[in-house]
Structure 1
Amino acid sequence: MHLPVVYSTICEKALQKVLQEAYPTEQIQSVHYMLRGMNDTYLVNTIDQKRIFRLYRSDWRTEEAAVAFEMELLLHLNRQGVSVSVPIADGSGKHVLRLQAAEGNRFGALFTFACGKEQEIDTEERSARFGRVVAELHVKAEGFTTQQAREVWDAKTLIHRPLAIIEPRLQHRKEDFHFLQQMAIELEAKLNEHILAGLDWGICHGDLQGNFNTNFCADNTYTHFDFDLCGYGWRAYDLAAFKLSRILIEEDDELVEELWNAFLKGYTEVRPLSENDQAAVSLMTGIRQLWLMGLCMHDPHIMGSSDSDDAFVNEKMEFFKKYFA
């Protein structure tokens, strides 16, 4: 009997051989599997520096255009002077590799290494600095254009699709799912009010939490990386990633507001943000949390169902009932 494969882990030695052939000028010495997440991340050591290779999951990035969008955005930001982890062209000049795995085609890309390290954004000074960093990213992304197709961060992606994913996983908790349905209706209604009032729309990183996806050096220079969730969307949603992460990490609501206000002060020193956009951020934290819940419940075939079991659902429901009941 043939057993189909939904996800495979690629042999490091085999991948090293592929990368050596694809990037002949890189002088690759070793490849080490570093992280399993929404994609597979490998640390690549060349003769004189580090690189990062990301291998996209076949069920996550099914179209090459979506990956090419990310690569083109990174190259644009780099040209604009934003410090980002940049894709490296292979020997033929392409930035996206297509590899044949057991489950089918998987796309990959080699990136420059982001020096420094992630840090907790737990002071007003750090929050304000990160706000300025995010604002600069939004400013420099304004002139980006591409012919590559990629889904946008709209109500379909952020609200409707997560609910469709969550419903079959909550058949034994119908009351909780009904709560989520009603909450989603209210969230979308309020979102539409903000849209009518004029919400800023443009390129978003998609995961600017502050303590992830940006490395800082001792001299306060920084590098953004992991733009896998980038795309066009409401800027208030992009900012909500930071505020939500503060809510989930910090236990003190007063501290959360202090950090958020400092972030907002730093952001608006670089880029204006309307009162309507600012007011929409809190709403977007609920929308983002719903999207994250759907994301985790979509992955049991990769991570196992224990990561999105009843304890996980309880945690999410506690959040929603505290902030959006």
Structure 2
Amino acid sequence: MATNFENPEMFQRVASEAASRYPYELTACRLLAFSENATYLVYDPETDEKLFVLRVGRPGYHTYEEYESEIAWLRQINDYTPLTVANPIAARDGSYIQVVEVPEEDLTCYCMGTEFLTGETLEHDNAPDAAPRHFELLGETTAYLHRQTEIWNGTKDIKRPHWDVDTMIGPDGIWGDWRDYPEMTPEAEVAIARCCEIIRKRLERYGKTPQNYGVIHADLRDTNIIVEGDVIKVIDFDDFGFGWHLHDLAGALSFIEDREDVPDLVNAWLDGYRKVLPFTDTDFVEIDTFILQRRIQMMAWLGSHQDSTPVQGYMEGFLEGTMGLVKRYLRLFG
């Protein structure tokens, strides 16, 4: 597991050091969120002009080479899809990744500045009637990303994690073990473990092919899609790696998997996706499997990321909602 953000003041100092290396006269950093990284808005303290967004990576979460891979994919998306992503910004010395050492903590922090993108996020909680339209847009956006990676020879050089059964819901998962969720009960653990066995068997049969597995964003929630007029913008590539394409659908439903309108949202997402790429019956029958796998993965994330900004709000009722999904899944496939 990566180091937690146990010292916010230290990360503020790291952000300030990294921001000072960029070609601006005056900079100040305002914390936006703690998640897999500490995200700061870098602005001019005299004019309050928004200059760029700076990410300070959670130490131990990504390597230097993994950040280089992110930069490579961002450039490909900008060049070969109708989508817009936040371009990396070069420091004064021309570098795109800032390495900031913290000797007193024996830590190395990797920081990356990107453009500040204007527009509004597709947060459907504030406008539930618009959710199906938003998910259709999400589906289309996702398909553009998948199509780009299918035709890009550079994916063979990508250095990023694989999001598979072991790394998501296994005991040594990247985000920890779901069994460590604070409110876990013996009864829930038994039922979830049974689901994990079924998920593993079904996905072994589903397999990994060039048509269903490749480079994915891995966190295409509505909050990571920005729209300005007719322009679609994608942000937060910190989790991108290799995985099943259907994981991006499941990621779009993060924390709302138990809502009654999920079938409608899935259908809307599929309508958007099919505008760009085909979606087979073999894929369709595993949608429930990917949705539950993501939910269990997020249980591990919630348990191991108590310092992250949104965690407490997400945990309310999370286990109860998960168990509803678990019972349904066992009825379908158990």
TM normalised by structure 2 equals: 0.81
Specify the SS of the correspondent of 1:212.
helix
Aligned partners of 1:7 and 1:302 also within 8 Å: no
1:310–1:31 Cα change, 3 Å: closer
Give the AA of the match of 2:24: E
1:148–1:7 Cα change, 3 Å: farther
User: Structure 1 residue 173 and structure 2 residue 171: aligned?
Assistant: no
Q: How many Å separate the matches in 2 of 1:44 and 1:6?
A: 19
Give the AA of the match of 2:186: K
Deviation digits for residues 115-172 of structure 1, max 9, x if unmatched?
A: 1011234343333233222211221233043535221111211221349623355797
Q: How many Å separate the matches in 1 of 2:194 and 2:240?
A: 28
Q: How many Å separate the matches in 1 of 2:192 and 2:235?
A: 32
* Matched residue, 2:91: 90
Question: Which of structures 1 and 2 has the larger relative contact order (alpha carbons within 8 angstroms, sep 6+)?
Answer: 2
Specify the SS of the correspondent of 2:162.
coil
Q: How many Å separate the matches in 2 of 1:177 and 1:29?
A: 49
* Matched residue, 1:281: 287
- Of 140-149 and 85-94, the range deviating more from structure 2: 140-149
User: Structure 1 residue 154 and structure 2 residue 183: aligned?
Assistant: no
Give the AA of the match of 1:56: G
Aligned partners of 2:288 and 2:329 also within 8 Å: no
* Matched residue, 1:116: 119
Q: Output aligned runs, 1:1-325, within 5 Å.
A: 7-10=6-9, 14-15=13-14, 18-23=17-22, 25-46=23-44, 49-61=50-62, 63-81=63-81, 82-101=83-102, 102-103=104-105, 104-121=107-124, 122-142=130-150, 143=152, 144-145=154-155, 147-160=157-170, 161-162=172-173, 165-168=177-180, 173-195=185-207, 200-209=212-221, 211-217=222-228, 219-244=229-254, 247-248=257-258, 251-252=259-260, 255-300=261-306, 312-324=318-330
Q: How many Å separate the matches in 2 of 1:284 and 1:125?
A: 22
Deviation digits for residues 292-317 of structure 1, max 9, x if unmatched?
A: 11111122466799779896434433
Q: How many Å separate the matches in 2 of 1:307 and 1:124?
A: 24
Q: How many Å separate the matches in 2 of 1:35 and 1:6?
A: 11
- Of 307-316 and 194-203, the range deviating more from structure 2: 307-316
Q: How many Å separate the matches in 2 of 1:58 and 1:167?
A: 24
1:77–1:256 Cα change, 3 Å: same
Deviation digits for residues 257-281 of structure 1, max 9, x if unmatched?
A: 2232122112111111222122222
1:321–1:15 Cα change, 3 Å: same
Give the percent of matched residue pairs that are identical in Structure 1 and Structure 2.
20
Matched residues, number: 314
Specify the SS of the correspondent of 1:247.
coil
- Of 293-302 and 199-208, the range deviating more from structure 2: 293-302
Q: RMSD of the TM alignment (CA)? A: 3.2
Aligned partners of 1:199 and 1:234 also within 8 Å: no
Give the AA of the match of 2:206: H
Give the AA of the match of 2:288: S
Specify the SS of the correspondent of 1:93.
coil
Aligned partners of 1:116 and 1:222 also within 8 Å: no
Specify the SS of the correspondent of 1:272.
coil
1:32–1:152 Cα change, 3 Å: same
1:37–1:267 Cα change, 3 Å: same
1:244–1:301 Cα change, 3 Å: closer
Give the AA of the match of 1:126: H
Aligned partners of 1:15 and 1:31 also within 8 Å: no
1:175–1:60 Cα change, 3 Å: same
1:245–1:197 Cα change, 3 Å: same
Specify the SS of the correspondent of 1:202.
strand
1:14–1:184 Cα change, 3 Å: closer
TM superposition shift of 1:110: 0.3
Q: How many Å separate the matches in 1 of 2:243 and 2:92?
A: 34
Give the AA of the match of 1:75: R
TM superposition shift of 1:92: 3.0
TM superposition shift of 1:16: 6.3
Query: Runs of 5+ in structure 1 lacking a partner?
Result: none
Specify the SS of the correspondent of 1:138.
helix
1:111–1:298 Cα change, 3 Å: same
1:305–1:92 Cα change, 3 Å: closer
Specify the SS of the correspondent of 1:292.
helix
Q: How many Å separate the matches in 1 of 2:274 and 2:310?
A: 42
Q: How many Å separate the matches in 1 of 2:277 and 2:10?
A: 45
Deviation digits for residues 75-134 of structure 1, max 9, x if unmatched?
A: 221222430012112233322211123541111100111210112343433332332222
